[in-house]
Amino acid sequence: MWIGIKDGRYFVRHVCQDSDELSKYGWAQHNGRDFAHQVLVDQEMVLMTSFLKSKGEGSGYGGDWALRIDMQSEKFALDEDTLHIFFYLADEDEIVLSVRKEIIDFRDNSLLATGSRAEIGGWQLHLKSTDGLEVHYAGFKTPHIHNLSDLVQQNLGAQVRMFGRLQLSDSSDDSPNILVFQISGRIPFRTDITFVSGTDKKEPRVGDRVNSLTGVMLTNQLEEKQREFERKFEQCFNLADKSDSDSMIVGKAAIGNMLGGIGYFYGQSKISQPGNFNVKTHDNFISYWPAELYTAVPSRPIFPRGFLWDEGFHQLLIWRWDIHISLDIVGHWLDLMNIDGWIPREQILGAEALSKVPEDYVVQHPTNGNPPTFFLVLRELVDGLKKNKFTANESRGILDFLERAFVRLEAWFHWFNTTQTGKQMGSYFWHGRDNMTTHELNPQTLTSGLDDYPRASHPSEDERHVDLRCWMLLAADCLHSIAMLFEKESKSGKEYGSTIKLLSDFEILNQMHLDEGYGAYFDFGNHTEKVRLKEMNAPRELVREVLEVPELRLVPHVGYVSIFPFMGRIIPSESWILEKQLDLISNRSIMWTDYGLCSLAKTSTLYMKYNTEHDAPYWRGPIWMNMNYMILSALHHYSREDGPYRERAKVIYNDLRSNLIRNVVQNYNQTGFFWEQYDQETGKGKGARLFTGWTALVLLIMAEVYN
C-alpha cells in the first residue's frame, strides 16, 4: 500500500487495479515457495519488492521471512520528494496484535510488533534501514481486510485536519487484529522488514536471525535465489535455443506471475436450490460447507478467485515447474466436490473475494458444469509415468495422488455422464442456458467456458454440443489410463472402455456433428439465424426478436467449438476432413490473423455482435491463448503423423506459433502486461490486463511443450 497522486489529489493505493492507470505491475520472478521479486511503476515512481522465506533453523516452527522494499525514481515530487509506503500485518482470526508504542524512533531498536499463535509460537516483526526513515503506525480492529484502504484514509484524513500532517495517528483501536505501519522517506530509499517465529524459544538468538535476513546478508541470499530461479527456468523450459532475449523476459514473467497469483481462500459458496432460486433477486440459496481452496487465479486484480476450467490450463504450466504445488491445487479442487460428484465452477470464498464479484455470478447452480480441464493435466502425468519422465520421489507422489483421487475423479465423470447427456446416445449438452431470455441475441452458455460463443438460438434438450462430447472423450480416456495404471479390474474400467469406443467412433461423430460442405463440426439444436435485437421505445431497451420459426439443425458457426474434434485429435491423419480443418484454420477470411486464430469466423452472422445492449462480443472474434494453445498442440501432433497433410500442418504450426509469440511479446514490451485476449484486427491486448492465467501458456508455446 502506498500514497499516490491522481487528478492532483492524494489517495491510498491498497491493491493494483486497472483503474489506477499504473504503467506496470507484476512479478518479474517467483518460484512459488520462498522467493519472489516484483516491480510496480506508478507515474515516475518505481516500487520494487523482494520476498525471501528462510527455514528459520532453530525456531522449531514454520520459518522466518523477509521483505525488501526498494523505492526509486528519477523525478517524483510528493511532500518535497518524501514518499509514504504502508506495510500491514493482519490476523484473520482476529487475534490481538501488539505494537511497540515508541516506534516513531526505531534507530536503536528495530522491533515493530509482537504476538503469538499456536502454529508458530511467539513472533516478532522488525524493520531495518540505513536511510533515515520515519515510521508511524495505526491499529485497527476489523473482520475484513479488503476495506483496509478506507480505514487508513480515514485515519490520515483526521490527522491532516487536526495537525496538517500526512501521517498515521500512532494510536490503536482496542484489541487490534491489523497493524499498519507508515514508512516515510526521501527517495531513493530501501528498507528490510523481517518476521521471525518461535521467539519464545531461547535459541538461537532472535537478533542473529533478524540480522541474517537484513542488509548485506539479505542481499546475498536474494541474489542466490535469483540465480536459482534462472537455472530452474532454463531446466524446465529449455528456451536458450528457441527464443530471443525479449521472449525470455516475457517467459519468466509468465511463470512468475502464474506462481505469484496462487492464493489461499476460505469461505462458503452460495448454492441455488433447484426450482426455488429467484434469478432476479438472487435469493433462496443455501451455503456450501466452509471450505479452503489453494488455487491459481486468472487475474489477481480483476478475477481474484478460483475458476474451475481455467485451473486445468494453469496446471499445464505449474506442474512443469513444481509438481507438488500442482497436485496440492488439484487436490483442493477435488475436495470441493459434493456427494453427487459436482464441483462449483466459480469459487468465491471469503469476504475479500466476494467484494470483487458482480451479484449475478455469486450463486452457483448444481445442475451446471464446466469443462473438466484437469484431465488435460492428469493425462500428461500418466503419460509421463509411463515414459519415466519423473524422479522417483515425483513418481511416488503422483501415484499416491492418483490412487487417492481416483474415486473422486470417477464421481466427477459420472456426474457429467448422467446430468449433461443428450437424447441421442453419445451426445451431450451444456445445461444452464436460458431458454426464456428476451434480451440476449444468442443465449449464453457460461457453463462451457466460452460464454457468448453462438450456440442454437433456442435452447432445448435436443441440443448436442460438440465441445462437451470431446471433453467427455478426454475424461473417459484419462480415467481408463489411470485404472489400467493400477490394474483396476472393475465394472467402471469396462465402462470407460465402452465410452471411449463410442465417443471416438469417427462415423458416429460425423453423423452427429459434421457439415460436409463446410468440412466443419457444428453443434446441433433448435436454431434459426434470423434473430436480432430490436429497439423498443417504452421503455427504451433492446429486445430479442425472432423472425422465423427455429428448426432442429446444425448450428452453422465456424470457430473454436467447430474445431474441437481437431483439437482432440479424433480426425484420422489421412482423412479429407483434416484437410478441410486446415483450410478453415489457415484462411484469412475465416479464422487466420497475423496475431493468432480468432474465436469466431469473420464470416459468421454473429461475428463481433453485441449479445445484449451492453454485453460486448467476448468469444465472437477476439484471440484467446488457451484455445490457440490447444490448436497448436493438435497441429504439432498432425505435423508428426504420417499422412498427406503432414507438411501443411507443419507450415501452419510454425506460422501460428510465430504469430502468437511475437504478438504477446510485443504487447508485453509496449504495455508491461499480459492480457485476457487480443484484438484480431490489431493484435492489441483487450479485456483484463495482468491476466496471467491461461495467457501464460505462451511460455509453453515458446518451449514447444504441448499436452
* Domains along the sequence of the chain with CATH: 2-237 (2.70.98.110), 262-296+303-409 (no CATH)
pLDDT tier at 424, thresholds 50, 70, 90: very high
Confidence of residue 79 (pLDDT cuts 50, 70, 90): very low
Mean pLDDT of the chain: 91
Q: Is the pLDDT of residue 85 over 70?
A: yes
The residues pairing with 51 across neighbouring beta strands, listed in sequence order, are 36, 67
d(CA 591, CA 569): 19
Q: Is the pLDDT of residue 640 over 70?
A: yes
* pLDDT band (50, 70, 90) for residue 62: low
376-385 pLDDT, tens digit per residue, is: 999 999 999 9
pLDDT at 237 over 50: yes
Burial class of residue 195 (count of CB atoms within 10 Å of its CB; 0-12, 13-18, 19+): buried
Does position 279 have pLDDT exceeding 80, yes or no?
Answer: no
Check residue 351 and give its pLDDT: 84
Nine-digit cell at 209? 536471525
Active site residue 676: yes
Judge whether residue 346 has pLDDT over 80. Answer: yes
- For residue 556 the three cell numbers come to 452453422
Indicate if the pLDDT at residue 281 is higher than 60: no
Catalytic residue among 451, 541, 615, 655: 451
Contacts of 207 (CB under 8 A, 6+ apart): none
Which residues have CB under 8 Å from 247's CB, separation 6+?
239, 661, 665, 702
User: Which long-range contacts (C-beta less than 8 Å, at least 24 apart) are formed by 430-433?
Assistant: 430/368, 430/369, 430/465, 430/468, 431/367, 431/368, 431/369, 432/365, 432/367, 432/368, 433/459
Q: Which of 37, 63, 67 is nearest to 192 (CA)?
A: 67
pLDDT tens digits, residue range 471-525? 999 999 999 999 998 876 555 556 799 999 999 999 999 999 999 999 999 999 9
Task: Specify the pLDDT at position 142.
Answer: 86
- Residue 408 vs residue 353, higher pLDDT: 408
Q: Is the pLDDT of residue 647 over 80?
A: yes
Look at the block and give the residue holding cell 531495518: 128
78 confidence band (pLDDT: 50, 70, 90): very low
Residues 463, 150: Cα–Cα separation, whole Å? 49
What is the CA 186 to chain-centroid distance, rounded?
Answer: 37
pLDDT tens figures, 605-627: 999 999 999 999 999 999 999 99
Most confidently predicted of 147-151, 159-163, 271-275, 593-597 = 593-597
**How far is Cα 185 from Cα 190, in angstroms, rounded to an integer?**
9
Kindly report which listed range (8-12, 258-262, 320-324, 528-532) carries the lowest average pLDDT score.
8-12
In this structure, what are the phi and psi dihedrals at residue 512, rounded to the nearest 5 degrees? -80, -35
The catalytically annotated residue of 311, 463, 676, 679 is 676
Angstrom distance (rounded) from CA 635 to CA 643: 13
pLDDT band at 102 (very low <50, low <70, confident <90, very high): low
- Vertex 157 angle, CA 156 and 162, to 5°: 100
**521 three-state secondary structure:** strand
Q: What pLDDT was estimated at residue 277?
A: 47
Rounded Cα distance between 206 and 236, Å, is 37
Cα–Cα distances in angstroms (integers) from residue 112 to residues 23, 406, 592, in the given order = 32, 49, 58
81 flagged as catalytic: no
Contact 559, 587 (CB under 8 A): no
* Average confidence (pLDDT) over 302-329: 96
pTM of the entire predicted model: 0.93
Find the helix or strand (DSSP H, E) in which 553 lies.
Answer: strand 551-554
Contact 677, 611 (CB under 8 A): no
Mean pLDDT within 684-692: 93
What is the per-residue pLDDT for 282?
A: 61
Residue 552 has pLDDT above 60, yes or no: yes
At 557, the pLDDT band (50, 70, 90 cuts) reads very high
Residues 6+ positions from 31 with CB-CB distance below 8 Å: 225, 228, 229, 232, 259
288-301: pLDDT as tens digits: 999 999 999 999 88
pLDDT, tens digit (0-9, with 9 covering 90-100), for 1-44: 666 655 555 667 777 777 777 888 899 999 999 999 999 988 77
pLDDT exceeds cutoff 60 at 681: yes
Instruction: Tell whether the model's pLDDT for residue 204 goes beyond 50.
Output: yes
